Amino acid sequence: MVKHIILWQLKDELSDQQKSQIRSEIKKGLEDLAGRIDGLVEIHVQDKCLPSSNADLMLEVTLSDQKALEAYAVNPLHVRVKDSLIAPNVKSRVCIDYEV
């Protein structure tokens, strides 16, 4: 199994209301991928962070193996969410992938 963890910071120019809406849209868009991509075992987006956090969202994905991670990255369903919701609204991204 492979874990794929992403932390995002949303763009500073977004209002708190915009950030709240965008967080919800990203969560729904990504979590709706469950059961629709081969090798995707589990997907969860944490969009409710404590004030001590320096990230706005966390994605935690469990995939069956490295090949499933590579396929997930280019899957059109995933790319659609990335291109329409994430890329236009995110100022920074940190990723870690590891085997479990």
| pLDDT of res. 22 | 98
| pLDDT of res. 78 | 98
| pLDDT of res. 3 | 98
CA distance 46 to 52: 15
Which three-class secondary structure string do you get for the chain? Answer: CEEEEEEEEECCCCCHHHHHHHHHHHHHHHHCCCCCCCCEEEEEEECCCCCCCCCCEEEEEEECCHHHHHHHHHCHHHHHHHHHHHCCCEEEEEEEEEEC
Provide the whole-model pTM: 0.94
CA distance 64 to 55: 27
pLDDT per residue as tens digits for the range 24-71 = 999 999 999 999 999 999 999 999 999 999 999 999 999 999 999 999
Average pLDDT of span 2-28: 98
| pLDDT of res. 72 | 98
Residue positions counted in the chain: 100
User: How much of the chain exceeds pLDDT 90, in percent?
Assistant: 100
pLDDT per residue as tens digits for the range 69-87 = 999 999 999 999 999 999 9
CA distance 53 to 57: 10
